[in-house]
Structure 1
Amino acid sequence: MLIDKDSKPEDTILFLSAQILLKLKKHGRINLALIENIYEEINKKQPYFKFNLALNFLYLIDKVKIEGGDLVYVSKKNENS
């Protein structure tokens, strides 16, 4: 993943991924229909496409999964089973 060195750290996909992961870890699972509420809690000024890219990144590194319409945090315990 390339990180734009001209951007503020809090505007990067990597930072937004970490923020989403913290929220998801706290809640355990979030209904996908309500994911925009989480985006707004993190930063109302960021465009949704950046959060969607952050979710894609988390999915690719196996930190989140989708189950029955919910976005679910994947803990290390779940990865081994």
Structure 2
Amino acid sequence: MLIDKDSKPEDTILYLSAQLLLKIKSCSRIKLAFIEDLYRDIDEKQPYFKYNLSLNFLYLIDKVKIEGGDLVYVPNKNEDS
């Protein structure tokens, strides 16, 4: 993943992914219908497409999954539940 050196760190997809992962981990399960509320809780100034890209990144690295309309945190194999 390339990070633009001219961007503020808090505006990057990698940073937003980390913030999003912390929120999802604290809730462990979130209804997809309320995902935009989660985005606003993190930083309402960021455009939703950046959060969607962050969510795609987390899905690709197997940190989140979708089960029955819910977004679910996927713990590491050695992480306590």
Give TM-score scaled by structure 1 length: 0.93
Alignment map for 1:29-48 (pairs within 5 Å): 29-48=29-48
Q: Aligned residue for 2:56?
A: 56
The RMSD of aligned alpha carbons is 1.1
Q: Which residue is equivalent to 2:19?
A: 19
- Overall identity of the aligned pairs, in %: 77
Find the aligned partners of 2:66 and 2:27 in 1 and give their Cα distance: 14
Q: Per-residue deviation at 1:77? A: 3.4
Question: Please, which runs of 5 or more residues in structure 2 have no aligned partner?
Answer: none
Equivalent position amino acid for 2:66 in 1 = I
Amino acid at match of 1:44: E
How far off its partner does 1:33 sit? 0.4
1:56 partner amino acid: N
**2: CA distance between counterparts of 1:62 and 1:76?**
9
